[in-house]
Amino acid sequence: SSWQRTRANKLKAENADAQTPPLMATPSEPLRVVEFFAGIGGLHYALQRSGVPHRVVQAFDVDDSAVRTYRHNLPCTPVSTKNIVSLQQADLQRLAADCWLLSPPCQPHTRQGLQLAESDGRAAALARLVDLLEAADPPLLP
């Protein structure tokens, strides 16, 4: 598409002297995306609307109602109710994602909530993802 060609040309120009390759150097392959804390698929929908070539290879959410709605809204995307806290490094490597979408629970950190931060059980899944990112080999973070 013209968007892809324009984006690719812009990235080439911006990164002509860069030491690291751009995220989307060639738009021929869609981004492999994993959606954590997927809810009803709002971030997936936003990514679709953006026009960025992608494929959501896995979505995760523990809320049964949200997962039913996600499956209704995005029936071609695999959705797991596996608790993110139980994910292992091998799970992330198997997914081989180029991009992560996530909208973790904010209640542990908001002024309106109890402000328990990491003491709130709802914060455990995000903490687990951070731990997995930090320990990844090969590194998933720059």
Tell me whether residue 106 is one of the annotated catalytic residues.
Answer: yes
HEC assignment per residue over the chain: CHHHHHHHHHHHHHCCCCCCCCCCCCCCCCEEEEEECCCCCHHHHHHHHHCCCEEEEEEECCCHHHHHHHHHHCCCCCEECCCHHHCCHHHHHHHCCCEEEECCCCHHHCCCCCCCHHHCHHHHHHHHHHHHHHHCCCCCCC
Catalytic residue among 46, 106, 114, 116: 106
Residues 140 and 123: their CA atoms lie apart, in Å, by 21
d(CA 110, CA 127): 16
The residues carrying an active-site annotation are 106
